[in-house]
Amino acid sequence: MSYVILGDLFTFPDGDAATNRVHTYAKGFVANGKKVHVICFRNDYIPLDKGVINEIKYYHPFGQTRRNPYFIVRSWKKLMKFFRTIKLIVGFNREEKIKAIIVYTGLPATFFLAWFSAVITNSKLIQEISEHPLRFYQGGKIRKKLGLVKLRTESAMVDGILCISHYLINFYTERGFPLHRLILVPSTVDPQRFSLRAERPFHFPYIGYFGMLSFDRDNVDLLIEAFAKIAGKYPDFRLVLGGPEYHQEKKKILKMAEELGIIERLKLLDYMSREEIIRYIVNSDVLVMVRANDIKAQASFPSKLTEYLATGRPVISVNVGEIADYLSDGVNAYLVEPGNKDNLAAKIDQVLTRYDKALETAHRGKQLAYSVFNYQYHAKRIIPFIDSLYKS
């Protein structure tokens, strides 16, 4: 039996949090002796349309290396992507029966493609939900109604849902979705990726943040302001920021650092692949996770937090969503109030002042990465969950 992961919310094999989640799913299936195919359904211009990594076969059915100057040609290529995907899936099923198609998308067209593929291969359709399903349908009665119609339609068509939080489990059960067709799969991590101590990238100690560099959702400005408050007390330390960012956000980060007088203490990394950035993560002296306290944070769980825990380095996190369900302040991580730069600055100061104790706390956090958030553990739960859907 084989599994297909299809979606447009992730790139592959390199990418952000969504890519890491897909990668841990796929790697977990492979570790349990299952064949897996990852279909990245985005319209990305890349040099290769398929490949293999960690025994995971992946495909880019758009198959374009550069943007065609003609609109009609671009539209044709996007349409052909659907037919190439169906052809791929039929081929997979002929080679080895597909057990489930896991769809990871917010677009109706991609969802219906996954549903149709599940129908023609007689397999189960599983929806991956890592964010609030109505996050793009806020504001305005018509927009909200469209979101509810989309939600009800998809819920009626899927066989099961992988939910990243208890919030989402409750969200779906309150709307009549059967509990036995839902499974909680919190943020997953491959702890071995973060267990190696590669050569330090800098000669100075540093506080690291590696994720989306934004002021809105991820509140990077909160971390910059907090660091500025304690920078004078720890002159050897730097603040290192790395991850995807928009040009406008980069300008805002540099402007804020200059205004706060810490421009010489800030290191802003260029975008790197998911493997390259690991060297900077594992060599951080302290890792900080910041995030806004909004509807997105309430429903999801940050993948970078579980990656941070896997390093065995002291982790400071804003306490949003269900983070406190897994982490306790001073026990296996350090938690701070959302939006409170003074609280964050004080917590960084506490960690650096009592660093030996912080390392003991970090060791207990690392144990969670090897147990509660371990990708192999959750793959072993997902496989029988999918099997159970054939009996219900």
Concatenated DSSP letters of 187-241 = --B-GGGGS--PPPS-SS-EEEEES---SSSS-HHHHHHHHHHHGGG-TT-EEEE
Amino acid at 90: V
Are 276 and 365 contained in the same domain? Answer: yes
For the residues 1-23, what does the mean pLDDT come to?
92
What confidence category does residue 276 fall into, taking pLDDT thresholds of 50, 70 and 90? confident
pLDDT at 376 over 90: yes
Are 127 and 209 contained in the same domain? Answer: no
3-state secondary structure at position 160: strand
Are 207 and 115 contained in the same domain? Answer: no
Are 118 and 182 contained in the same domain? Answer: yes
Are 213 and 165 contained in the same domain? Answer: no
Are 346 and 263 contained in the same domain? Answer: yes
* Cα dihedral sign, 174-177-182-187: negative
Are 252 and 349 contained in the same domain? Answer: yes
**What is the predicted pLDDT for the residue at 15?**
83
Are 166 and 203 contained in the same domain? Answer: no
**What is the predicted pLDDT for the residue at 139?**
79
pLDDT at 71 over 90: yes
**What is the predicted pLDDT for the residue at 199?**
85
For helices 355-369 and 303-311, give the axis angle rounded to 10 degrees.
120
Number of structural domains the chain divides into = 2
Residue 176's CATH number: 3.40.50.2000
Distances (CA, A) of 66 to 70, 77, 148, 271, 272: 12, 12, 37, 21, 21
Structural domain containing residue 63: 2-188+374-389
The string of pLDDT tens digits covering residues 282-331 is 999 999 999 988 878 888 998 899 999 999 999 999 999 999 999 999 99
Are 342 and 382 contained in the same domain? Answer: no
Are 243 and 94 contained in the same domain? Answer: no
For the residues 196-222, what does the mean pLDDT come to?
88
Are 365 and 221 contained in the same domain? Answer: yes
Chain mean position to CA 156: 26
Are 199 and 345 contained in the same domain? Answer: yes
List, in order, residues 6 or more apart from 120 with CB less than 8 Å away: 86, 89, 90
Amino acid at 246: Y
**What is the predicted pLDDT for the residue at 66?**
92
Measured CA to CA, the distance from residue 374 to residue 103 in angstroms comes to: 22
Average pLDDT, the chain: 93
What confidence category does residue 246 fall into, taking pLDDT thresholds of 50, 70 and 90? low
pLDDT at 392 over 80: no
> What share of residues in the chain are helix, strand, coil (percent, to 5)?
45, 20, 35
Which pTM does this prediction carry? Answer: 0.92
**What is the predicted pLDDT for the residue at 247?**
67
pLDDT at 277 over 80: yes
The string of pLDDT tens digits covering residues 85-119 is 999 999 999 999 999 999 999 999 999 999 999 99
3-state secondary structure at position 322: coil
